Amino acid sequence: MTKAKYGRLAVYFLAFVLPALSMLNCSVRYNGSSMYTKDCTVELSILMEVAEITGAVVMFSSYLAFIPILIYCFCVIIPTELIVKFIEKRKKRSNDLDWFG
């Protein structure tokens, strides 16, 4: 695999898999006015915050036909793919210059 594919895999893991794993790690308690995490398997404050934020986004988007989740997906996928294409194009251009120069 190339560096671009490793980078793409890392970005997608951090953007999609890590929030899901953090929600599975902690039991998020939903209340009428507050949300908080409790009884986490791995007691890391960053994972607890990610679980709270992800739970809030999922709960908020359930009332808005999951449009915020779709916007989040597009805001992650489109820039990642554009950056990968730019890097591959730049790498190809530098390889072409090496052959002729």
Give the model's pLDDT for residue 13.
96
Give the model's pLDDT for residue 12.
96
At residue 31, the 3 state secondary structure works out as coil
First to last CA, the chain: 28
Give the model's pLDDT for residue 21.
92
Tell me: the pLDDT tens digits for 36-90?
777 888 888 898 888 888 888 888 898 999 999 999 999 999 999 999 999 888 8
The Cα–Cα gap between 41 and 69 comes to 26
Give the model's pLDDT for residue 97.
64
- Enumerate helices (H) and strands (E) in the chain, giving the number of each: 4, 2
Give the model's pLDDT for residue 90.
87
User: Against a cut of 0.85, is the pTM above it?
Assistant: no
Give the model's pLDDT for residue 32.
56
Give the model's pLDDT for residue 98.
59
Give the model's pLDDT for residue 52.
85
